[in-house]
Amino acid sequence: MATAHARYFPYLCKCMSFKHHGNLTHYSHRTTPAFSEAELGQLTPEDVVKYMNFSTYETATPEPEARPLNWRSDTAEFAKKAISHYMPSTGSWNQAGSHGNPTRSRQVQQFISTLKRKQVRQLGRPCAAKRDMTLAEFKLAAKILEEQDDWNCNRWLQAMRMQFHMIGRGDDVHHMETKSLRVHPQFKFALQTKMRWSKNVLEERDCPPQILLGAANPVFCIILSLAIYLEERFSSYGTHSRFLYTEDVNDSAPKRAVKSYSRTVRETVFLNAFLPSSVICYWWIPWNALVP
């Protein structure tokens, strides 16, 4: 994980670049040494607001009715936090004495409040956050993939069902090993497997066997889907494959597979079916959004 300095310093460099040179690129965060306390002490709330205005509106002096082009309020709040991290004074800004932390000033807070107000009124930059896939969208995605006369589409449809069943990410599913898939020792109508690659798996005891159950709805039935997929795959590529969704055996194969998975679903479903690009399908499908 990146250190605080690695995450915060680029914002300070851009702010100081704009203060001294009127642009955001003069001080590269990769080569610029730490700014002195004397330099940081000269930074004022007006400097910070001008930098934020330029980053948001592409002008340091936007009109009151101007619409944000780049930043949203959460970015502005992070920039405020990043610049504040380097300020020699941690106290609130004293307007009369012109000292203190310039990010803790009325002007900066007013800028962020205005940005939030514009977002609420749908005047700001659209949110790029991902949202959950709905039941109808999942069914439509499955239908489109199923109708394609293409082996990869059939394979990625099965991977999508497995991802939903395991409540996991695409990366988790593509690292599943074929040998982990077996008949449940107690319930003959079920299968069991393991998912060792999840970000939540830190020890061997974190990946116990997980049960795979069939479903009355064929759109969601992992048993039926696996049966069709494995019969086609084994007849074409043989039964000796390390990973469940790729015929390659080297360690980098799952990463290539998940890229193909993402690209195929995006191009086949989202770009052709006019589903919103903000939907999470090929990375994460939350169970609570899809339970029939």
Q: Spell out the domain ranges in the chain.
A: 4-120, 135-290
Measured between alpha carbons, how far apart are the two ends of the chain, in Å?
Answer: 38
Burial tier of 164 (Cβ tally within 10 Å: 0-12, 13-18, 19+): buried
pLDDT of residue 273: 56
At 266 the pLDDT is 81
The dihedral sign for the CA sequence 17, 18, 20, 21: positive
Beta bridge partners of 246: 243
Burial class (CB in 10 A: 0-12, 13-18, 19+), 126: exposed
From the list 245, 240, 241, the residue with the least C-alpha distance to 154 is 245
pLDDT tens per residue across span 76-101: 999 999 999 999 998 999 888 888 99
Assign 247 to helix, strand or coil. coil
Counting as low any pLDDT under 50, the low residues of the chain are: 1, 277-292
**The pLDDT of residue 282:** 38
pLDDT of residue 14: 97
Using the Cα atoms of residue 238, residue 242, residue 244 and residue 246 in order, give the sign of their dihedral: negative
* Topology of the domain comprising 135-290: hpI Integrase; Chain A (1.10.443)
Q: What is the pLDDT of residue 6?
A: 92
pLDDT tens-digit series, residues 101-113: 999 999 999 999 9
CB-based contacts of 196: which residues, under 8 Å, 6+ apart? 175, 176, 177, 180, 207
**Residues in a beta bridge with 279:** 131
